[in-house]
Amino acid sequence: MHPISFARFSALACAIASLALVAGCQSRTPAAPAASTAALPTMERVALGANSCWFKSGDAAFKAYRLAPELNSFSGRPRILIVPRKSPEARPLAVVQAEGHPARLQAFGPLLSEPVGSRIATDVRRWAAGGQGCS
C-alpha cells in the first residue's frame, strides 16, 4: 500500500464532499400520483372523458344522445347516464356506474348492444384506469 499525501487526501475528501452536496441538492421529480381507484374519482374521470370525447367533440356516434352525470350518489354508486338528446327525462339508454374501493364498474343498457357499445366499453375501461384522450 502506498501512503497518500495529506494534500492528495484533502483533495479527494473535498471532491467526495462536493459530490455528496451536489447529489443532495438536485431536485427529484416526484412520481406521478396513481389514479385513485375509489368509485367517485373513477366515475369523475369517466364522466370527464365521456363529456369531452363523445359529446363536446361533436362525435356523430353520440349526436342523438346527451350525458346525464349522477356523481353525487347517496347510494355509494356514482354513475353516468346516456339519455336521448331530445328526451333527457326518458329511460337511460346506457348506465355506467361504479362502487367500492377499488371501484367495480358496471355498464348496462340497450345502447351497449348497438355498434357504439364496444367503443363505450373500451373508452370507459381506459378512463377508469387513469388513461386520457379519445379513441
Q: Is residue 13 part of a domain?
A: no
Query: How many domains in the chain?
Result: 1
Q: Is residue 32 part of a domain?
A: no
Q: Which residue range is the domain that position 97 belongs to?
A: 39-128
Which string of DSSP letters, residue by residue, matches 8-21?
Answer: HHHHHHHHHHHHHH
Q: Is residue 94 part of a domain?
A: yes
Give the pTM. Answer: 0.73
Contacts of 105 (CB under 8 A, 6+ apart): 42, 96, 97, 98, 124, 125, 128
Q: Over the stretch 67-82, which tens digit does the pLDDT of each residue have?
A: 999 999 788 899 999 9
- How large is the greatest C-alpha to C-alpha distance in the chain, in angstroms? 91
Q: Is residue 5 part of a domain?
A: no
Q: Is residue 70 part of a domain?
A: yes
Q: Is residue 114 part of a domain?
A: yes
To the nearest whole percent, how much of the chain has pLDDT over 70? 74
